[in-house]
Structure 1
């Protein structure tokens, strides 16, 4: 193939089509546990996470829910994925080898939010949320009915494979996917580009700006204990028993059990089996949806 402007434009269209096809090869899961929040600046401030709003009886003046003193910002980050196409491969009509590469670029782009969201979830015992504590911790502070500070846990502890129980029925889910610039396909594919002159390579890539972070810790429970019916029951009780400041019920419901691939069998046994291991009726059947993620380690 002659390397000229017209042929390069045709190749660019084909490569982008391969990229678009690859985008559809991945079934995203992140939106089941995270809320997308658009961003227009370098960073978003989530100080308002200190308030978990609810209705109250109107006595006297309104009580305004204001952002608390918490400081929690999520900074956008840059991501890229770049591949090169050899000039000699174009000249030799050996471009078929690039179709799967560009399709995989598209698939990896679509998987990027999943990789980051579930990767952050697995680090919840070591990563701070809005109250300055690790997202999964045993001493989150809140105020009791007397206005005194007490500590609350949303962690089951342990050292095994992690699993998570969540309420994902609210407008804000337990995690946040912050989007500043969606992924876009870009290229340096002109014959007079420096990369062509110096290295005989045409460059194609994709880049985006985004970030991930934590929402309300009250809406998720994490454990590294063995996934058993008893530990699942304890997680449900802890999650649904969470209270807000001044002992206000939050009305949380355990709706989603999130597990890595290694715990799929145990999760299915708890949520799907008609009988438990003792042969009795499985009272936890259909009490939550199951989400298995290959991104959790």
Structure 2
């Protein structure tokens, strides 16, 4: 290929098409468990955490819920991946061998939010959420209407691989994916660029600016105990009994079970089998959607 501006533009179009094709084809689950929040600045302050807006009978003046009582900030981070294509490979018409590289780059760009979201969920036993406690904790402080504080648990501690039960049916999700700049394919291929002059290479890459954070802990339950019917039932019951600061149930309903690959068989047996080990009807069949993620493994 003759190296000129027109041919380099056509080459970029081909590489970009390979990137976008793989990006769009990759299967991801993070949009099911995290809400995507657009960002317009370096960081975003979430001042509504802890407020559920539960409807009450209107007697006397309105009861105003402060949206700044439990605010926290998510600061955007920069991400990139870059590859170099040697000038001689283009000149010798070897650029076709690079198509899989850009397809893989597109696939990885699509999966990167999944890696961030699932990784944050796995860190939830130590990383703090809006109330200053770890996202999964036995002592979430909830201030009730009478001014007293109640400590609420959304975890079951143990020594096994962690699994997670989530309510993903609401507008607010257990996790947040904050996007400042979407994953974008770009190039540095001007013949006067330093990388071409100094290294005889054309650069192609992807950039993004985003970050993840915790949403409402009341919509998630983390367990390190054995994944069996008793633990699953206990986690569901605990979640459905969560209350607002006013002492009213907030209608949590677990919809999604997330497990690492090492718990896939147990999860499939729990949610898909029509009968349990003793031959009786499996009452927990189809009570949640199963998501198995390699990003949850230790």
TM-score calculated relative to the size of structure 2? 0.96
Post-superposition shift, 1:145? 5.6
Does residue 192 of structure 2 align to residue 192 of structure 1?
A: yes
Distance in 1 (alpha carbons) for counterparts of 2:145 and 2:194: 68
In the other structure, the counterpart of 1:216 is 216
Tell me the equivalent position of 2:113: 113
Is the 1:228–1:266 contact (alpha carbons within 8 Å) kept by the matching residues of 2?
yes
Residue 254 of structure 1: CA displacement? 1.1
Residue 180 (structure 1) aligns with: 180
Inter-partner Cα distance in structure 1 for 2:10 and 2:289: 46
Give the RMSD, CA atoms, in angstroms: 1.2
1:189-243 CA distance string (max 9 Å, x none) = 0111100111111001111111100110001000111111111011111111111
- Deviation of the 1:68 alpha carbon: 4.0
Write the distance in 2 (CA, Å) between the matches of 1:21 and 1:142.
47
Please state how far the C-alpha of 1:272 moved relative to its aligned partner. 1.4
8 Å CA contact retained: 1:143, 1:247: no
CA distance in 1, matches of 2:270, 2:147: 39
SS at structure 1 position matched to 2:49: helix
Q: Is the 8 A contact 2:166 2:219 kept in 1?
A: yes
C-alpha offsets along residues 59-100 of structure 1, whole Å, 9 cap, x if unaligned? 011112221432311011111111110011112211121000
- What secondary structure is seen at the aligned counterpart in 2 of 1:283? coil
Question: Residue 221 of structure 2: SS of its match in structure 1?
Answer: strand
**1-structure distance, mates of 2:111, 2:105:** 10
Partners of 1:144 and 1:285 in 2: CA distance: 36
Q: Which runs of 5+ in 1 are unaligned?
A: none
How far the C-alpha of 1:47 sits from its partner, in A, is 2.3
Q: TM-score, normalised by structure 1?
A: 0.97
Q: Deviations over 1:27-48 (max 9, x none)?
A: 1210110011111111111121
Residue in structure 2 matched with residue 206 of structure 1 by the alignment: 206
Contact 1:50 1:68 in 2 (8 A): no
Q: CA deviation at 1:246?
A: 3.2
Structure 1 residue aligned with 2:126: 126
Cα drift, residue 159 of structure 1: 2.2
Confirm or deny that 1:268 pairs with 2:268. Answer: yes
Q: Which residue pairs with 2:156 in the alignment?
A: 156
Aligned to 1:74: 74
Q: What residue ranges of structure 2 are gaps of 5+ in the alignment?
A: none
What's 2:171 paired with?
171
Name 1:16's counterpart in structure 2: 16
Q: Is residue 233 of structure 2 the alignment partner of residue 255 of structure 1?
A: no
For structure 1, which segment, 273-282 or 206-215, has the greater mean C-alpha deviation from structure 2 after superposition?
Answer: 273-282
Q: Separation in 2 of the partners of 1:177 and 1:126?
A: 19
Q: Distance in 2 between matches of 1:286 and 1:93?
A: 54
Matched residues in 2 for 1:146 and 1:194: separation? 67
Q: Secondary structure at the match of 2:109?
A: helix
Secondary structure of 1:48's partner? coil
Over residues 106-161 of structure 1, what are the superposed CA-to-partner deviations in whole Å (9 max), with x where a residue is unaligned? Answer: 11111111111011111100111000000000100012464211211001111221
Paired residues, what number?
Answer: 297
Say if 1:47 and 1:130, in contact at 8 Å, map to a contact too: no
Aligned position for 1:229: 229
Residue 100 of structure 1 corresponds to which residue in structure 2?
100
Distance across 1 between alignment mates of 2:161 and 2:90: 48
